[in-house]
Amino acid sequence: MIKLNGTVTDGNNFFENTDPFDLIAEYGSPLYVYNERLLRENCRLLKNFCPYPQFQLHYSVKANANLSLLRIIREEGLRVDAMSPGEIVVEQAAGFSSGEILFVSNNISDTEMQFVHDKGILMSVDSVSQLERYATLFPDSEIFIRFNTGIGAGHHEKVVTGGKNTKFGVTPDAIPAVKDILRRYNIRLKGINQHIGSLFLEKSPYMESVESIFEIARQFDDLDFIDFGGGFGVPYHKQEGQGALDFCDMGQALAAAMKNFSNEYGKQLTYVIEPGRFVVCEAGVLIGTVHAIKENHGTKYVGTDLGLNTLMRPAMYDAFHDVEVYRATEDVSAAYEAVTITGNICETGDILAKNRLMPEIFENDLICVLDAGAYGYSMASNYTCRLRPAEYLITGERGRLIRRRDTFDDILAAYV
Ligand SMILES: *Cc1c(COP(=O)(O)O)cnc(C)c1O
């Protein structure tokens, strides 16, 4: 096998002793592949970057809810967030206790509230309307509330979740109404949270949002914790040398801000972050196969099995993923050319990489999409009745299947 553009997976020894062609032969194409060592390294980096004693990490499971990965993340001492009852079910199957789960809700039903409450899991609501619903159902209970202070950040307008143009959070002007409900129903506000958006690589927007949530915290007397949300970015343009977030610098700044605020507040508050992407993104790749090459009106298309049903991010967010190419033979073609790499779905937007300068690609080459561990499998679907791929974990010397490929029976199973 030869690797073209393969500096990243060679650099971190992603595949260890495994051969991508063997994995594809055994588990089918496409295939999600994760590396346990890299996953554990990310967890440890997060656990250690911020030197504040009551600092709590809640992995945001929507980035990747694979049960085996969750067990590893739990072993590393992280807790979790959930955003749906289904996520709670998976988290509890992975061994997380109710006390280790925070539920961050958005527009949920009474039945869902009841489900979370019955499990003894603390929930955040993100509107006055949902607060009142919760309070009516469960007076004399506890809650936390998501605020939107008007600050947002992210790599695409669809992932900016704070700020003035998003559906999320309670705005500061509603604080009197919030207090009124808390008082009338005897609800204790244990914490406040926010999530400004996803994928920042500079500390300034996050630190700015930290200051603005402190502004909200000052208006409540007896909080136990403040949750700053997730959004810690990873560099998707590694092949161009894009740098990573400076965790050391960020950790110092966060710890100083936390300490100052606790002093001012007169209480050793617990501070929470909810990273999703950062935990799993770089620990996963997606491998697919080239089935066709053609030229259409001056554009060269590389046709693969990596449809938007398998990896949604490029179609949904115009997201960029670095791509490596693996070839079973030793035929190296030195020629670079601009190509558009597409999937196998009947959608014009089914494009993995547009107008990308790549070494010449041939049929039967493998395409390895980097940084696919987050929002990859978790957003995969059965669109066009395609089977979602298997997931495989490289664990040191050996590896193992951690989710089988869908079957046609899975496709038929839910029809009545
Ligand atoms: C999606 C989400 C996260 C995780 O975001 P990442 O960008 O993956 O770190 C954290 N908190 C909330 C409320 C979210 O919706």
Cβ of 245 below 6 Å from ligand 1: no
Which tokens belong to 383? 């669109």
Top-confidence residue, 151 or 168: 168
Confidence of residue 154 (pLDDT cuts 50, 70, 90): low
What is the Å distance from ligand 1's center to 297 Cα? Answer: 41
Mean pLDDT of 146-167: 75
Catalytic residue annotation: 346
Looking at ligand 1, which residue's alpha carbon is closest to its atom 15? 195
Tokens 């080239």 correspond to: 290
The backbone torsions φ and ψ at residue 361, rounded to the nearest 5 degrees and listed phi first, read -110, 145
State which ligand 1 atom lies nearest to the alpha carbon of 62.
1
Cβ of 231 below 6 Å from ligand 1: yes
Cα–Cα nearest to 273, from 261, 256, 258: 258
State which ligand 1 atom lies nearest to the alpha carbon of 154.
7
> Where does residue 403 rank: exposed (0-12), middle (13-18), buried (19+ CB within 10 A)?
middle
Top-confidence residue, 5 or 124: 124
Confidence of residue 159 (pLDDT cuts 50, 70, 90): low
From 62, 69, 79, 379, give the residue whose CB has the most ligand 1 atoms within 8 Å, as the site to mutate. Answer: 62
Residue 370 has pLDDT above 70, yes or no: yes
Residue 326 has pLDDT above 80, yes or no: yes
From 106, 195, 200, 234, give the residue whose CB has the most ligand 1 atoms within 8 Å, as the site to mutate. Answer: 195
Cβ of 58 below 6 Å from ligand 1: no
State which ligand 1 atom lies nearest to the alpha carbon of 275.
9
pLDDT of residue 268: 96
The backbone torsions φ and ψ at residue 94, rounded to the nearest 5 degrees and listed phi first, read -85, -5
What is the Å distance from ligand 1's center to 142 Cα? Answer: 23
- Answer yes or no: are the C-beta atoms of 279 and 63 closer than 8 Å: yes
- Answer yes or no: are the C-beta atoms of 347 and 315 closer than 8 Å: yes
What is the Å distance from ligand 1's center to 273 Cα? Answer: 9
pLDDT of residue 256: 97
Q: Are strands 351-359 and 188-193 parallel, antiparallel or unpaired?
A: unpaired
Top-confidence residue, 366 or 6: 366
- Kindly report the number of other CB atoms within 10 A of residue 374's CB atom: 26
Cβ of 313 below 6 Å from ligand 1: no
Q: What is the DSSP letter of 134?
A: H
Mean pLDDT taken over the chain: 95
Percent of the chain residues topping a pLDDT of 90 = 90
What are the tens digits of pLDDT across the range 355-366?
A: 999 999 999 999
- Answer yes or no: are the C-beta atoms of 227 and 260 closer than 8 Å: no
Q: How many residues does the chain have?
A: 416
Residue 191 has pLDDT above 70, yes or no: yes
What is the Å distance from ligand 1's center to 234 Cα? Answer: 13
Cβ of 126 below 6 Å from ligand 1: no
Cβ of 146 below 6 Å from ligand 1: no
Residue 164 has pLDDT above 90, yes or no: no
Cβ of 365 below 6 Å from ligand 1: no
Tokens 């066009």 correspond to: 384
One-letter amino acid of 365: D
Cβ of 230 below 6 Å from ligand 1: yes
Q: Which long-range contacts (CB under 8 A, 24 or more apart) does 10-17 make?
A: 12/38, 14/38, 14/285, 14/394, 15/394, 16/394, 16/396, 16/397, 16/399, 17/397, 17/398
pLDDT of residue 332: 78
One-letter amino acid of 97: S
CA distance 239 to 152: 28
CA distance 171 to 330: 60
Residue 43 has pLDDT above 70, yes or no: yes
Radius of gyration of the chain from its Cα atoms, rounded to whole angstroms: 23
What are the tens digits of pLDDT across the range 72-109?
A: 999 999 999 999 999 999 999 999 999 999 999 999 99
Cβ of 274 below 6 Å from ligand 1: yes
Top-confidence residue, 5 or 227: 227
- For residue 235, whether the previous peptide bond is cis, meaning omega lies within 30 degrees of 0, is no
What are the tens digits of pLDDT across the range 276-322?
A: 999 999 999 999 999 999 999 999 999 999 999 999 999 999 999 99
* Torsion angle, alpha carbons of 342, 344, 345, 349, to 10: 0
Cα–Cα nearest to 234, from 189, 277, 188, 283: 277
Cβ of 195 below 6 Å from ligand 1: yes
DSSP-based three-state secondary structure for 21: helix
State which ligand 1 atom lies nearest to the alpha carbon of 277.
8
State which ligand 1 atom lies nearest to the alpha carbon of 375.
8
What are the tens digits of pLDDT across the range 248-282?
A: 999 999 999 999 999 999 999 999 999 999 999 99
What is the Å distance from ligand 1's center to 166 Cα? Answer: 14
Mean pLDDT of 353-378: 97
Q: Are strands 225-227 and 270-273 parallel, antiparallel or unpaired?
A: parallel
- Answer yes or no: are the C-beta atoms of 299 and 307 closer than 8 Å: no
pLDDT of residue 150: 84
From 155, 160, 250, 274, give the residue whose CB has the most ligand 1 atoms within 8 Å, as the site to mutate. Answer: 274
Looking at ligand 1, which residue's alpha carbon is closest to its atom 3? 230
- Answer yes or no: are the C-beta atoms of 59 and 403 closer than 8 Å: no
Confidence of residue 153 (pLDDT cuts 50, 70, 90): low
Mean pLDDT of 204-233: 95
How far from each other are the two terminal CA atoms of the chain, in whole angstroms? Answer: 47
What is the Å distance from ligand 1's center to 150 Cα? Answer: 17
Mean pLDDT of 141-146: 97
